[in-house]
Amino acid sequence: LPLHAPTDASFLLLGGEPFAEKLVMWWNFIGRSGAEIVQARNDWEKGIRFGEVHGYDGARLRAPELPDIPLKARGRVR
């Protein structure tokens, strides 16, 4: 995997077997249930549990409003 960055950079590549369980994915959050996504969004908006992006000059991004429909778990069926 050839990469080039004109300045110092960090890169993280994750891999492995897919999760056996189904997961809920929404915006930047991944959980095992819609309730976990709601909690993650609330934590994000309160500025807890998630780190900061150092060196970014802009304001913290706001999470979009959750949809009015239940979030569904999806994933690989074994």
Q: Is-above-0.75 flag for pTM?
A: no
Q: What is the pLDDT of residues 12-71, one digit of tens each?
A: 888 888 888 899 999 999 999 999 999 999 999 999 999 888 898 998 899 999 999 999
DSSP summary character for residue 20: S
Name the nearest CA neighbour of 46 among 62, 35, 58.
Answer: 62
Delimit the domains of the chain by residue range.
Answer: 23-49+61-78
For CA atoms 18, 22, 23, 26, give the dihedral sign: positive
